[in-house]
Amino acid sequence: MKHNIIPKALRWMAAAGLCLAAAACSKDDITPEPAPQQGITPTKIIFNVTRGGYEGDAETRAPKSEWAEGDVVYFGRYNDYFKNKAIYTDGEWVVNMKVPITENTASLRAIYGEHIRQSEDINTTSLFYVDAMGDIAYTNSGSYEMDEGGVATITLNLDQHPQGRMTFTGVGKGKELTVLNMKSIKMIRNLSFEFRNPAPITLTGEDDGTTTLYALPDPTTVTEAGITLTVEYEGKLYTKTFAGKEFKENSNITLAAPSLEGGWKEAVTEYGAEDLKMGDYLYSDGTTSDGGLRKLYPDGTVETATEAVAPEAGKTVIGIVFHAGRHATDASDYTKPLNAGGPTLAGEVRGYAVAITDACLYDVWNGGVLWATKPNDKFDCAFVIDVSDNLDDWNGYANCQVMHDYVTAHAGEDWEMRHFQAAWSCETYGNRTLDYEGNPTSDYEWQAPLRAPAGTSGWFLPSCGQLWYMMPYQDYLNSRFMAAKEVSAAELQEYVKEFFSQSYWSSTKDGDFGAQATVVDFENRDRYGTTRNNKYLVSRAVIVF
């Protein structure tokens, strides 16, 4: 009987979290038993943790196989993975177990991350913030095994990576390379990962001349042909499409640093006055004219004609072109009108334009416009509608068609299109005679000269991707709005506005919350979800011609 008491007591102490010292995994059999602490002899814990590699190209540098002083691995059972941790100290792992683990458990979760810190809020300790771009590794299949001698072995193979790994060779020690349109992790909760908006990430060459990016690409840079990268290196912007390359979770690719000799080319698009392009003017008769753009860089830099190009005299500017040709992610059917007898596109998509004014009135006392609300209850916006939650697609028109279909299907519940206030204010832009309650109003008579020309899609509420595309070029687009304002009729000039001071509704829903839609904030260059009955926002219509 006495023979079994000590192992059982040791197992109980381990499960209760009383054991604070652990042996390094390379010293499993030779580490002496820890000395007694406060009269209690803790059982030995063997912390066996490794990091698996990324899938893909042969690696120029192995994933981190040696641990640095102060590295932390958080681990525990499914809902408690963040409560226990091991800290690499003086060549060994020191384990702090706040929450017991049942012996012989084969469902441990664990995470390690460079530049991550755990929330200090006692109520949100499962939340981690990522302060800088770095590697994140985790597992859902760790194990905790106890032998009869009371020795516990924690086995973790951190072989899952929510980001891709991209190594550039030949960058040079200390030299900077900036990769555009990349998303890095900013927050981790319960092993789900929230990414930052696509943005440039600057890397520095290490001693061996390489530098490594941990991120995911903006989906618009990935096509069937491969991945198209845009980077800044030694003062120049370069671009190159890598056929057959994938950059996704758990993937690894290796690329040579950019040079014109290496197949990279300067990332600039040049235009002539006759080309349809960003910044051109769209008129009330459906025609366009040159807005002055001559060179367009992917970081938002533009070069314009040496002399300012004004709109054509005697014509009414209704919009500014922001993209020529049909976008690759636009699956909208422009032959199907939003309203019976409404406008439809004649022919192929030539381009997209954004209105020179907001579609709804706004003031600090009365606010702007709701995204939507249920009939007879402005505070209830918790209904399900199947518009896209993709932050990058260009399906604004298709989203508006879904809203119309929803109204038709729920007509018996008093739904009308005006309950989708943001979308309705866009599609009635230029023809609006009612307020949001359905009462006659003359407040929008000033929009009449800006109505959609025949043969176009009509105005509609853009998707998040369509608004976000304009973000890097907002300064140039703002200059075109102001050029249009100078030649607009006097009664219109007070309404012509730049992109800056407001957040704009998109037709895209927020994927995490059914009662939220996505907002694009041009002032802070951000996009996020907010409750659909948030009135202090505006809408800005776009049109396909």
DSSP string covering 115-143, please?
Answer: TEEE---GGGTTEEEE-SS--EEEEEEEE
Average pLDDT over every residue of 200-209? 95
257 vs 331, higher pLDDT: 331
Q: Are residues 66 and 175 in the same domain?
A: no
pLDDT of 16 reads: 39
- State percent of the chain over pLDDT 70: 89
Q: Are 92 and 22 within 8 A, CB to CB?
A: yes
Q: Same domain, yes or no, for 384 and 428?
A: yes
Q: Specify if 274 maps to a domain.
A: no
Encode pLDDT of 39-56 as tens digits: 323 368 899 999 888 888
pLDDT at 32 over 90: no
Which pLDDT band holds residue 448 (cuts at 50, 70, 90)?
A: very high
Q: Rounded to the nearest 5°, which phi and psi values hold at 537?
A: -140, 165
**Which residue range(s) make up the domain with 178?**
164-266
SS3 call for 195: strand
- Quick check: 98 and 83 in contact, CB under 8 A? yes
Name the residue among 345, 324, 289 with its Cα closest to residue 458: 345
Q: Could you tell me if residue 173 is inside a domain?
A: yes
Q: Does the residue 432 lie in any domain?
A: yes
Domain identity same for 191 and 152: no
Query: Are 248 and 133 members of one domain?
Result: no
291 within some domain:
yes
Q: What is the mean pLDDT of the chain?
A: 87
- The verdict on 537 and 520 lying in the same domain is yes
pLDDT of amino acid 21? 41
More confident residue, 316 or 12: 316
End residue of a domain, out of 266, 299, 321 = 266
Residue 80 domain-assigned (yes or no): yes
Q: Is there a domain that residue 491 lies in?
A: yes
Q: Is the pLDDT of residue 20 over 50?
A: no
Tally the domains of the chain.
3
- Say if residue 417's pLDDT is above 80: yes
Q: Are 497 and 390 in contact (CB under 8 A)?
A: no
Percentage of the chain beyond pLDDT 90 is 67
Helix (H) or strand (E) holding 351: strand 351-355
Same domain for 70 and 204, yes or no, is: no
237-275: pLDDT as tens digits: 999 998 888 899 999 999 998 887 788 999 999 999 999
Q: What are phi and psi of 287, to 5 degrees?
A: -90, 170
What's the pTM? 0.82
Mean pLDDT of the 413-434 span: 96
Q: Which of 158, 182, 200 is the last residue of a domain?
A: 158
- pLDDT tens digits, one per residue of 65-114: 678 899 999 999 888 888 899 999 999 999 988 888 887 888 899 999 99
Residue 63: predicted pLDDT: 55
Of the pLDDT bands very low, low, confident and very high (cuts 50, 70, 90), residue 122 is low
Q: Residues near 407 by Cβ (< 8 Å), separated by ≥ 6?
A: 415, 416, 417, 419, 420
Check whether 511 has a pLDDT greater than 90.
no
Residue 97, in any domain of the structure: yes
Residue 17 has pLDDT above 50, yes or no: no
Confidence check: pLDDT of 454 > 90 = yes
Rounded to an integer, the average pLDDT of 1-19 is: 37
Strands in 405-470 per DSSP E: none
Give the contacts of 355 (CB within 8 A, at least 6 positions apart).
318, 319, 429, 450, 459, 540, 541, 542, 543
199 and 286 belong to one structural domain? no
Closest by Cα among 11, 20, 9 to 146: 11
Q: What mean pLDDT comes out for the span 404-417?
A: 94
Whole-number Cα distances in Å, 377 to 22, 281, 424, 437? 60, 41, 18, 12
Q: Can you give the pLDDT at residue 64?
A: 55
Determine the pLDDT at residue 22: 46
Question: Can you give the CATH number for the domain in which 49 is found?
Answer: 2.60.40
Q: What is the mean pLDDT of residues 203-213?
A: 94
Question: Strand order of the sheet with strand 317-324?
Answer: 288-289, 281-283, 317-324, 351-355, 542-544
pLDDT above 50 (res 26) = no
Residue 43, pLDDT score: 65
Considering only residues 291 and 22, tell me which one the structure prediction assigns the higher pLDDT: 291
Domain identity same for 335 and 473: yes
Same domain, 134 and 257: no
Whether residue 296 lies inside any domain: the answer is: yes
Residue 58 has pLDDT above 50, yes or no: yes
- pLDDT tens digits for 341-369? 889 999 999 999 999 999 998 876 677 89
pLDDT band at 382 (very low <50, low <70, confident <90, very high): confident
pLDDT for 34 equals 43
Claim to verify: residue 134 and residue 202 sit in the same structural domain: no
Question: Residues 180-202: what's their mean pLDDT?
Answer: 93
pLDDT value of residue 224: 79
238, 266, 294 - which closes a domain: 266
Q: Are residues 130 and 20 in the same domain?
A: yes
Phi first, then psi: give them for residue 435, nearest 5 degrees. Answer: -90, -175
Strand partners, 121: none
- Give the three-class secondary structure for 270: strand
Q: Do residues 318 and 222 share a domain?
A: no
Dump pLDDT digits (tens) for 125-164.
789 999 988 899 999 999 998 888 778 899 999 999 999 9
